[in-house]
Structure 1
Amino acid sequence: MAKVREQQHLQKCAMTGQNGWTSLCDSEWEARKVNVFDQYGKNINLNTILEKPLEEENKNKLNSPTMINPFAQAGLNENLWEGMKGNLLNYLPQPILMFYMSYLFRGYIALKLPFTLTANFKPMFQSSIMTTDLDVSYVTGISWYFVNLLGVESLSKVFGSYFGMPSFFTKPEENLLESVSLILSSGGVQSQLQQAQPSFGQPKAEEVFRKQSKEIRIINFKSCLTNVEERFLKKFDN
């Protein structure tokens, strides 16, 4: 109800300024301006409209912080730390496996692809073999590791399209993505950060009312009946 009343009073204040030309005389317009300023420009009447006592307003001004620290929210540091640990645990096995693959299988052929490739794929699939006449379908261990690491789903699609078989790797990845999406949608670090961020760029209702009342006070009177005879004759002159 408070929000509805606030919107109605804002609309009333705006309509008073827009329809100032409907006043019949200067004194009527001055009375309207005084009424608007008394109703929306003074704290006592404005607090009554917004249902906000003056003592409570002063107390909130004294106790309210200037800016909310998003990292000071309860439980946010724990969630950030858990997320960092999860990312670190997911990353650490990759360089370890890459080191072992590079150390143990350098210069060795790991497998042969069941389809032919062009010579442009030679630097990617035969990184540790310095031969120019070896078929590109022979793949080294470290190259196969990078292919699996960076393009498992794409490679499975190539196998599926070439042999007409279903994809082998997309189902676990889809389950993983669904789990991550479920965690993010249910809450977590991002949601808490968004809730902790202060809402900038949204002026308070008191400031809007005072601004509109000041704008109405400087509007000069111009009645709709000014030169009404000349405008009427000019309209039906033709």
Structure 2
Amino acid sequence: MAEDLVLDTTIRDWVLIPLSVVMVLIGILRYFVSKLIRTFQNPDGKIVKEGQVVIRARNLRSSADFIPPKSFRARRTYYSNEENGILHVPKGQAPNPQAQMFSDPNMAMDMMKKNLSMIIPQTLTFAFVNFFFSGFVAAKIPFPLTQRFRSMLQNGIDLSTVDVSYVSSRSWYFLNLFGLRGLFSLILGEENAMDDTQRMMQMGGFGFDPSKSLGAEKDSLDIVQHDWVLPKFEQRAEAVLRKLAK
């Protein structure tokens, strides 16, 4: 049976609150350091153009039912025609982002700076937290959890008799690491609205591949089932008017 613990207020004052404050301050410091080492490059006109095409096609998909069928078919042909559609990327002409990175040293250097600005601070922060704050039960989740959450919430505490809802100090560090996106967006603005999960996912890539976005949008536009809502609206309006006339 899991034990119920009484958390000491000293742990709250000297572990929980300082750890949270340290994580916020490190996140803010890392944001300004990344701004200082960021390399500003003029955007590629082709990439900007293709991005705008994707946005226009996406707007067409979302508003397709508000235009007549003939107009929708004409627009879809303009976008996804296999011969000259602006969303169609011929085979063999798709750019290779990996080759583009190796051909442009500025792109490779900028990616290295972004990765280092994430890896080095997090490595030092984890070593700091593991040295000073490891081994404490820092907080308790106010709702029951299953045993599957034990490894996530009680990292560093090997006690199977402790209730799963208790959070260790090391797990609290990881919860802050991946859960402070909203707070950073509020403090630093929407420019910083990218958490560490997204950064880690981008570390394995070599940049933006516009051909994939164009192809995915083309496939999505091809399968759209057009259903013009205006005739139905007129029928509903007539039915409402007839009811009011009665």
Which band: TM-score by shorter chain? Answer: 0.3 to 0.5
Larger CA Rg, structure 1 vs 2:
1
Q: Structure 1-normalised TM-score? A: 0.34
Q: Structure 2-normalised TM-score? A: 0.33
